[in-house]
Copies of this chain bind each other. A is one copy, B any other.
Amino acid sequence: MARTPRNTLSADLIVRTALELMEAKGTDAFSLRGVAGELGVGPMALYTYFRNKDDLYDAVRDHLMGLLPAVPSDEAWPDQVRAVCRSLRLLMLQHPCLAQLLAGRPLSGHETARVAEGLLGVLRAAGFDAETAARTHTTLFTYVLGSTSWEIQMAAERRDPEAWRRLRTSMESLSARDFPSVVELAPELARTTGGDEQFDYGLDLLLAGLQLQVRTPS
């Protein structure tokens, strides 16, 4: 019986454990000590496989990006773009921690590059020049990131009854004289903080703009 068994760890095992922990106890509850504890190991053991916490973050992000399906190849380019954006959003909803992992750090890793490659390939094949393809890629990515992060954030807030109550009362304290539109549209605003329809609404605006641009090149 080895008192300190070796080679029981691996980068992949650590990543999967970290991911499980984030999904079970919430993104914020994640800590190196927590992951190490789950693995029955001291906190410093992780530093054999990752330079620091951010490095582990990046690895988890890339692992999640690997779960994205390939771009459908037998569709028109607007539908392909829609598919890529929708599947990224779905992945983020399925793994809420992904929102923070994507927002907080630059993109890196092979799986992440694969996803970018898919979208860029669609855009190039559709006839976009290099600069426009890059601009469009960034625009789409930041839209998906922003809107879905917001959606997740709001959903989390709604789950916390105390925070939700405070939000409602602070909403109701607004005078209808000073803020007529906000007060009038409060129910609509609450309804449009997320959901498939809201996401598709913005995405379709972007796609409409794109198609218009393709048809009338400057």
Contact = CB atoms under 8 A, between A and B. Distances in A.
A150 interface: yes
A131 B188 contact: yes
Given A106-B163, A108-B167, A181-B124, A139 B147 contact: yes
Contact of A135 (B109, B139, B198, B207): B198
A133 interface: yes
A113 to B, nearest CB: 5
Contact of A134 (B103, B144, B157, B188): B188
A197 B132 CA distance: 11
A184 interface: yes
This chain: copies in complex: 2
A191 B130 CA distance: 11
A91 interface: no
A182 interface: yes
Contacts of A174: 110, 113
- A interface: dominant SS: helix
What are the 6 A-B residue pairs with the smallest beta carbon separation, nearest first? Answer: A146-B146, A205-B209, A134-B188, A139-B202, A120-B181, A208-B209
Interface in A198-218: 198, 201-202, 204-210, 212-213
Contacts of A42: none
A181 B178 CA distance: 51
A102 B170 CA distance: 17
A104 B180 CA distance: 27
Nearest to A124: B181
Interface centre among A124, A202, A204 (most CB of B within 10 A): A202
A81 to B, nearest CB: 12
